[in-house]
Amino acid sequence: MESRPTSAVLRRTRPLARSYRHYPYFTGTVSTNTDKKEEVVQLGVELSLYVAQLMFLLCDDIRTMLEFCFKMWECVLPYPNPVLERLLRVFHYVYSKDIKPKNGVYHDGGDSVQWELISTTWKHFADGIIILHCLDMVLRRKVGSFDDRQLSSVIEKYKQEVLKNLEDKLRSAKNVSEANGFAKETVESNIFYLWKSLFDEEEMSEVIKSRILIDLFTPLFGKQMRSEILALHVCSPYIIGKDFELQEVKEEVVRLLVEFSLYVAESMFLLCDDIRTMLWFLKRVWRDAKWTVINESHVMDRLLRVMHYVYTKDIKPKNGVYQNDGYNSVQWELIRTTLDNFASGFRSLNCLVYFLKSGGECGRKFTSKMEERVKKVWEKMGCVKDVSDANGFARDAMESNISELWRSLFEREVKEATLTLETIKNEIIRDLFLPLSNEAPPPWY
């Protein structure tokens, strides 16, 4: 998002409307959770608390404070919108109640002592306002759509990349703001009242808005805006950009691969009463998943490493005994129903990984199909969870180790590392499937 040119003379003008119709770029099942609206309201409250704190920090120079607030009001988002209206009310509440000179004197002095610190927070405030506007529009069904997972992800990243950064930067001046009269608990209760109606349809009346603008910004009208304020640019936040969408899809792909891998691991524990059946099962899954794969297959290589890790760490007979008694595992009839789900799931995800690594872009609709396949496996294996647990399957403990095997999936590997991994893969194949080398496969293979 390019910063919009702003006149050096402050006038009561409205910004040119800019399109936010394409934010966010997500598609998926629309979230209808009322709790999400409450979370977004709370984000607005927390952002406003940092706005209030900065106003107290800048109160030694009212002009600087008002110009900074005016910049947020006039230059970050197209007007009108509910987020800006709430922020305007916050500005006015804090200014009129605690900061506005009681005798009406306006000090037009130099920059505030805290200006250097506050100037470093501009990007986080601007990002916070833009993202809140997008969340508001999504939840009002006016643009785009998130599904629940994407919405939760954006909210979580908002807390980390907007609110946490503001907290870290303003922490060093906490004593100053409190000495200037900032009382967080008192301010918060009043600010919450201003935000709780965010999703109501009623807009601020023009009369009220005009009164607030006149009372708040009249000291600035006709004055030259300072170069330091003019130099504050507005850029598109990463959280609602295409790069964020792509990274979210990649993380979702890794998460799905971890989920599939955990079910493969659980299948191994369910089949561990017959090692022969288990190994032929693994070989079948790996063979079918590789079928038609003609590009480099980092997915299949990591799948092999998952199988080998679980087998050598938890299942491989300590004395090296391998029994071929001709009987299948007790759980085989159940596990064989998952073969197609595993193979098609890994195969499809491998194609998606190759597409993304080649520079392709896609939305959540592709990973949503994979979620359905994971769900089918979960439905089939849910009835034997007690058996796998009794056989030693500890999902939580295993998840962190399996996640580590998939974590670097989208990282670029140098040629030497690729050759090393190929050698490791061949050694794994020999170690894992050596017991099967001198016998005929079972009929179902």
**Which single residue is written with the structure tokens 């906490």?**
174
pLDDT at 5 (0 to 100): 41
Beta bridge partners of 224: 9
pLDDT of residue 324: 56
Residue 191 is predicted with a pLDDT of 93
pLDDT along the chain (445 residues), means of 10: 42 35 35 79 97 94 92 88 94 91 56 90 96 89 65 90 96 94 91 91 84 92 88 84 77 91 94 88 91 72 92 72 63 91 89 82 72 87 90 90 90 60 82 85 84
Torsion angle, alpha carbons of 98, 99, 102, 106, to 10: -170
Using left for φ > 0, alpha for ψ between -120 and 50, and beta otherwise, residue 28 falls in left
Residues linked to residue 9 through DSSP beta bridges, in sequence order: 224
Radius of gyration of the chain, Cα coordinates, nearest whole angstrom:
29
Q: Could you check whether the bond before residue 82 is cis, i.e. omega within 30 degrees of 0?
A: no
SS3 9: strand
d(CA 71, CA 66): 8
Q: Which helix (H) or strand (E) holds 285?
A: helix 275-290
Query: What letters, b where the CB count within 10 A reaches 16 and e where it falls short, cover 331-359?
Result: bbebbbebeebbbebbbbbbebbbebeee
pLDDT of residue 369: 78
- Quote the pLDDT of residue 153: 84
Residue 369 structure tokens: 């199909």
- pTM of the entire structure? 0.67
**3-state class (DSSP) for residue 361:** coil
Q: How far is CA 207 from CA 203, 214, 220, in A?
A: 11, 11, 20
Q: How many angstroms separate the CA atoms of 399 and 263, rounded?
A: 11
Confidence (pLDDT) at 120:
96
Per-residue pLDDT at 232: 92
Tell me what pLDDT residue 27 has: 39
Closest to 107 measured CA to CA, from 180, 156, 58, 71: 58
- In the chain, what are the domain boundaries? 34-240, 250-436
- DSSP single-letter state for residue 15: P
